[in-house]
Amino acid sequence: MQVTIRPLQEHDAHISVKWRNDPEVFKYTGNTYKTIISIENELEWIRNVIVKNQVGRDFRCAIEVDGIYVGNIYLTGIENGAAEYHIFIGDKNYWGKGVAKQASVLILKYAFETLRLNTVYLEVNKRNIVAFLLYQSLGFLVVSEKSDSYSMEVKGNRWATISTTIHVGAPQDEPESVIVQL
């Protein structure tokens, strides 16, 4: 299984629009859409994403498995040595196969080793157990909490230590997991 991440492109909207309208995918995220997202909405969103990626404010990527687009992963609000991380696997056939973990390792490597950030942070709903376990396995620690969510973060020095111990997929998968820059 080859997991790659690459910056989102306009044509991705034709697939991602289906995921936007799947309540199971967005159950625990901040994006609980009240109305149907149309292809026009998604295209408009993705065009804005491309502009923000180009100015370096965000790094919003597609996740591909053996060339198939299965989800999105982002660093957003990149400034002052920090960025927020987000992920969803929109194609539910790929849940539980280690895809999120491999994609996350790629984007965190990019954050700490290429962008040289000090901190990557996130917010997770307390009921989203799978996501919480994923984040813990990547080295994120809880730094504060609200009634329904945790704020978590991983610092560069912790990442440097923990990234050497993270197991992603079968050993033969690891060298194949790459970031494709457009």
Ligand X SMILES: CC(C)(COP(=O)(O)OP(=O)(O)OC[C@H]1O[C@@H](n2cnc3c(N)ncnc32)[C@H](O)[C@@H]1OP(=O)(O)O)[C@@H](O)C(=O)NCCC(=O)NCCS
Q: Which residues bind ligand X (CB under 6 A)?
A: 25, 28-29, 87-89, 95-101, 124, 128, 130-131, 133-134, 137
Gyration radius of the chain's alpha carbons? 16
Nearer Cβ to ligand X (11/167):
167
Using an 8 Å Cβ cutoff, are 87 and 124 in contact? no
Q: 121-135: b or e for each residue (b if 16 or more CB lie within 10 Å)? A: bbbbeeebeebbebb
CB 133 → ligand X: shortest distance, Å?
Answer: 3
Residue 74 neighbours by CB distance under 10 Å? 20
CA distances from 129 to 49, 69, 135, 144 (A): 28, 24, 10, 17
Q: How far is the CB of 129 from ligand X (least distance, A)?
A: 6
Closer residue to ligand X (CB): 56 or 96: 96
What is the closest distance, in whole angstroms, from the C-beta atom of residue 54 to ligand X in the complex? Answer: 25
The smaller minimum CB distance to ligand X, of residues 95 and 110, is found at 95
* Of residues 47 and 92, the one with the C-beta less far from ligand X: 92
Q: How far is CA 108 from the centre of its chain?
A: 9
CB of 55 to ligand X, least distance (A): 25
Token pair of 135 as six digits: 């984040």
Nearer to ligand X, 118 or 137 (CB): 137
**Helices then strands, each counted (H, E), the chain:** 5, 8
Smallest distance from ligand X to CB 107, Å: 12
